[in-house]
Structures are given as C-alpha cells and as structure tokens.
Structure 1
C-alpha cells in the first residue's frame, strides 16, 4: 500500500508513522487506538 507522506488537508507529516502503525496492529491494537497512540488525532490525518 502506498501512503501519502503528508496529510492532504493540513500538511502534517504522516509517512514516517506507517511501520509503527503496522506493528501496533500486529500487537492487537484496534485501528483507532493505534492512530491515537501515534498522535494522529485530527480527523483529516486519520
């Protein structure tokens, strides 16, 4: 899957969080909880 380097709406860098996100999903986190842990709380970045 190709993810954007920056959020299309606000411009926040999100590309560097992909590997950590995948690891959290492997550790039985839900998608929403994993995004919260990574600090992606804005609606546009999720």
Structure 2
C-alpha cells in the first residue's frame, strides 16, 4: 500500500527515497539506474522498491463500513 519507512530485512531507512525513484522511472530511466542513483545497494532494499505496487489510490476509493 504505502512504501515502508525501513527495509524489512536490514532496517535501512528507505521511505524518503521513493519519490526520487518513482520520478526517475516516470522520466523513462531504467530501474537499475534509478536504484543506483538513490543509493540503494543492498539487494533487499532494491527488491523492496522493485516489488512495491502503489495501491493507496485504489484502496482509498472504498468507503469504510
């Protein structure tokens, strides 16, 4: 739903890097370059970003009961 503040595996703070990563992807940069520019070197942090699906807009459309 929302990008985690810290990596699940190593605990490195990564939440502040999501917008930079997402903007580079929207500009057409390759995911590897965007992750390298963000300073994400560990495979666990890279996997967290590449596997994330932003569903907050879809989930927000439903009303609470």
Q: TM-score, normalised by structure 1?
A: 0.86
Distance 1:18 1:3 in 2: 7
- For the residue of structure 2 that corresponds to 1:34, the secondary structure is helix
Runs of 4 or more off by more than 3 Å in structure 1? none
- Equivalent residue number for residue 39 of structure 2: 39
Q: Give the root-mean-square deviation of aligned CA atoms.
A: 1.0
Compute the displacement of 1:19 (Å).
Answer: 0.8
| Corresponding residue pairs, total | 46
Residue 4 of structure 1 pairs with residue 4 of structure 2 = yes
- Equivalent residue number for residue 30 of structure 1: 30
- For the residue of structure 2 that corresponds to 1:45, the secondary structure is helix
Q: TM-score, normalised by structure 2?
A: 0.64
Where structure 1 has 5 or more consecutive residues not aligned to the other structure, the ranges are none
